[in-house]
Amino acid sequence: MHSLDSYLFISSMLFCLGVFGVMTRRNAIAVLMGVELILNAANINFVAFSKFNGMNLDGHIFGLFVIVLAAAEAAVALAIIINIYNNLNSINVDDAAELRQ
Amino acid sequence: MAELVFWFVAAITIISAGFVVLNNQLIYSAVALLFTLFGVAGIYVFLWADFIAGIQILVYVGGILVLVIFGIMLTNKIKSVRISHKSMQQGVGGAVALWLFIFLSIALSKAPWAVSEAIEPSGTVREIGILLLTDYLLPFEIISLLLLGALIGAAVLSRGDA
């Protein structure tokens, strides 16, 4: 039906939008949303290659692991963001540029 | 018909992803992210990945998106839903992203992918379960430990000095 290229095209579009978000956003939560877009793009690639490689389910397992890692990453990132907010009263990533107490 | 539905789902995914990175109101970005995640789940359905599509909706929409919205609410003094935030250097960022996209499209259209056809399976849950408890048993256990550690770490970090 659809070729592999159309899926790769969609996922590269999603990836570039995510990279754009990570580069231009300054709110830490918006940066996190960009990272989620990038992870989803990678996951589409995993599942697409799995289908077009004779329904090899290894790609699905990788996709599953990526989703679990994204959940862990979001939990830790939001905890860090809330701490930054409590300390600096802002979640602009440019404000959090100091490595001292 | 299926062709039409596929491109409709793909368009929803891409357009709402554009909203996520371009909208100036944080809550609106989060709501657009909801549609992107649903669209990606739809693409998984077209790729015969029923289990991954279900997990995508359960974990991303039910878990991560709710976490993100909690994060937005906990880090802003909410007076209205219009929490604005600015982007910077959109020109340069857009140029870099566009260049990356053109590069990727050329690369993936020229690459000789080794494609092999497959028949549509009746379901993938059984095979994924068997794989997770045989070939991928050790990664499965490690990732469950990692998830446990990450969640405990998140709870400890966000509790502050109690």
**pLDDT > 60? residue A76:** yes
Whether B11 and chain A come into contact, CB under 8 Å, resolves to: no
- CB-CB under 8 Å, B26 with A29: yes
DSSP string, B38-88: HHHHHHHHHTT-HHHHHHIIIIIIIIIHHHHHHHHHHTS--SSS--B--B-
- CB-CB under 8 Å, B68 with A32: yes
Whether A73 and chain B come into contact, CB under 8 Å, resolves to: yes
Of A29, A55, A86, the CB nearest to B121: A55
Distance of CA A82 to the CA centre of its chain: 19
Q: What is the tens place of the pLDDT at every residue in B10-69? A: 999 999 999 999 888 888 899 999 999 999 999 999 999 999 999 999 999 888 999 998
Taking only residues 88 to 107 of chain B, the set having a beta carbon closer than 8 angstroms to any beta carbon of chain A reads: 88-90, 92-94, 96-98, 100-101, 104-105
Taking only residues 24 to 43 of chain A, the set having a beta carbon closer than 8 angstroms to any beta carbon of chain B reads: 24-27, 29-30, 32-34, 36-37, 40, 43
pTM: 0.90
Q: How many CB atoms lie within 10 A of CB A5?
A: 16
Q: What is the tens place of the pLDDT at every residue in A59-70? A: 999 999 999 999
Q: How many CB atoms lie within 10 A of CB B6?
A: 19
Confidence of residue B79 (pLDDT cuts 50, 70, 90): low
List the structure tokens of A10: 């969609």
ipTM for this prediction: 0.90
- CB-CB under 8 Å, A47 with B52: yes
Task: Find the closest chain B residue to A18 by CA distance.
Answer: B21
